[in-house]
Amino acid sequence: MKQKVILLTGASSGIGYDTAQALAQQGHRVYAAARRVERMEPLKQYGVIPVQMDVTDEASMQQAVERILSEEGRIDVLINNAGYGYFGAVENVPMDDARNQLEVNIFGLARLCQLVLPFMRKQGNGRIINTSSVAGKSVLLYGAWYHVSKYAVEALSDALRMEVKPFGIDVVIIEPGAIKTNWGIIAADHLIESSRGTAYAETAERMANNMRKIYTDGHISSPAVVRRAICRAVNARHPKARYRIGSWSDTIVWTHTLLPARWWDAMMRLGGKIKL
């Protein structure tokens, strides 16, 4: 297997951390990027190179890309994994928080694509792997801004795939379903915070409690399924355009597609009324 130079964002914890370790152990040259570099120190034992980067900060993104090109002379793979979920009713979420959700989940991702593409075109090959979600194919109650960001990742990735294919560059989307990480806990905390003292508080609290239960339950998929999908997308000679993996991923998408909108809406509202 040919060694590839990889830039991976969101690598300080969870799926990003595990993927950085796995790719390095496969023999790749992995630059793991995150705001908190100290959290990635243990990855050095596997050959991972921690890089400080904030995907909302232009200078830090430029510096990271320039460093890799200076040290390696190329970037073969960009894995846009950084992201989080801010849940809350549209009426309640402060616009600064909404903008930050999009800044992290879509604009930072897009800017990194812009920064690496000239060099990938010059070398005549490359691969961009964007972590999306089934949240880019369906909408849950109180998830508006998170879903906006993931629908945007889907659209941008589809457009980009068509644009850069003539230059030998692949664009891949990773679409996880429910994965047992801290994502659901963080999203639930945001939901409580944004709904406290509002007309949505009671339903939002039930939804948040349900989210915490689901994401601490042993019945949803392990982060390993996402790590394996990303590794397959990196190593495949001809990667798929999409890797949809994890608990309920196909079920959610197909149910959202096939059900009349009123039925889906009623099902989501019911979920906010039931205490699991």
Domain ranges of the chain: 5-179+222-256
Is residue 146 flagged as an active site residue?
Answer: yes
Per annotation, catalytic residue among 31, 146, 200, 215:
146
Task: Kindly report, residue by residue over 2-36, the tens digit of the pLDDT.
Answer: 899 999 999 998 999 999 999 999 999 999 999 99
Instruction: Say what the pLDDT of residue 276 is.
Output: 40
Task: Kindly report, residue by residue over 187-231, the tens digit of the pLDDT.
Answer: 899 999 999 999 999 999 999 988 888 888 767 888 899 999 999
- Tokens standing for residue 65: 């890309």
Task: Kindly report, residue by residue over 225-252, the tens digit of the pLDDT.
Answer: 999 999 999 999 999 999 999 887 888 9
Which of residues 180 and 171 earns the better pLDDT score?
Answer: 171
Q: What is the DSSP string of 207-261?
A: HHHHHHHHHHSTTSBPTHHHHHHHHHHHH-SS--SEEEESBTHHHHHHHHHHS-H
Instruction: Say what the pLDDT of residue 178 is.
Output: 86
- Judge whether residue 1 has pLDDT over 90: no
The label of the residue with tokens 């400080």 reads: 52
Instruction: Say what the pLDDT of residue 273 is.
Output: 57
Please provide the average confidence, as pLDDT, over all residues in the chain: 93
Which of residues 110 and 210 earns the better pLDDT score?
Answer: 110
- Judge whether residue 59 has pLDDT over 70: yes
- Judge whether residue 108 has pLDDT over 70: yes
User: Could you tell me which residues come within 8 angstroms of residue 121 by beta carbon, excluding any fewer than 6 positions away?
Assistant: 164, 167, 169
Directed axis angle between helix 14-25 and helix 224-235, to 10°?
50
Residue 248: Cβ-neighbour burial (10 angstroms; 0-12, 13-18, 19+): middle
Residue 200, amino acid:
Y
Which of residues 275 and 190 earns the better pLDDT score?
Answer: 190
Quick one: fold of 5-179+222-256? Rossmann fold (3.40.50)
Instruction: Say what the pLDDT of residue 272 is.
Output: 57
User: What values do phi and psi take at 219, rounded to 5?
Assistant: -95, -5
Instruction: Say what the pLDDT of residue 218 is.
Output: 66
Nearest to 129 by CA among 64, 34, 226, 268: 226
In the chain, which ranges are continuous DSSP H helix? Answer: 14-25, 58-72, 95-102, 108-123, 144-164, 183-195, 201-216, 224-235, 249-258, 261-271
